[in-house]
């Protein structure tokens, strides 16, 4: 290696029921940002923590995210024509935890609904207001593609998730 270190031996496996933990651990090595997705529902505003967010296209402006079909909030997001993706800042682990546990707990948050009834949470690092344009099957998840109709951002550092832990990004020397 260029840095003089030694390689750690790779563990090879075929993903399947017997290796589900190893597959999850391998996926967890890919660091992601953390988002909270919100939409309006028959039960009121609802949110869910997700790290399955990605940009798809700049022209037109498309993004995707993938809710788990086993989520108790799945039906609300599967039906949502409009939703917002909130990128969390490094000091917003409280929001991450809140919407991991209870998607209907907006009490005490600084938020307002837009014209489509989508809850917009203030203070996040970035926010993308979306209109759903496509839905694709994705195994135990649904892949939802949205066109970004509005976006906001502020200066700050993102909340990062990797190997089952939250942290922050630090630049290499």
Q: Domain boundaries in the chain?
A: 33-155
> What 3 state SS string does 54-120 have?
EEEECCCCEEEECCECCCCCHHHHHHCCEEEEEECECCCHHHHHHHHHCCCCCCCCCEEECCCCCEE
Q: Report the predicted TM-score, pTM, of the whole model to 2 decimal places.
A: 0.89
Could you read off the pLDDT of 74-126 as tens digits, one per residue? 999 999 999 999 999 999 999 999 999 889 989 999 999 999 999 999 999 99
Asked whether residue 41 carries a pLDDT value surpassing 60, the answer given is yes
At 1 the pLDDT is: 45
Q: How much of the chain exceeds pLDDT 70, in percent?
A: 97
Asked whether residue 37 carries a pLDDT value surpassing 90, the answer given is yes
- Was domain 33-155 assigned CATH 1.10.3720.10? no
């Amino acid at each position: 290696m260029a840095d003089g270190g030694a390689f750690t031996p790779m563990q090879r496996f075929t993903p399947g029921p017997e290796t589900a933990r190893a597959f999850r651990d391998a996926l967890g090595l890919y660091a992601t940002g953390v988002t909270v997705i919100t939409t309006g529902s028959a039960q009121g505003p609802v949110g869910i923590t997700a790290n399955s967010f990605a940009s798809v296209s700049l022209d037109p402006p498309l993004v995707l995210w993938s809710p788990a079909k086993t989520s108790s909030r799945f039906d609300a997001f599967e039906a949502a024509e409009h939703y917002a993706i909130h990128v969390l800042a490094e000091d917003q682990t409280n929001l991450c935890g809140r919407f991991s546990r209870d998607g209907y707990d907006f009490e005490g948050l600084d938020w307002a609904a837009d014209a489509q009834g989508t809850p917009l949470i203030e203070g996040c690092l970035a926010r993308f207001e979306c209109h759903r344009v496509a839905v694709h099957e994705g195994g135990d998840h649904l892949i939802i593609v949205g066109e970004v109709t509005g976006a906001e951002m502020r200066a700050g550092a993102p909340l990062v998730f990797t190997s089952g832990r939250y942290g922050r990004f630090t630049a290499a020397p």
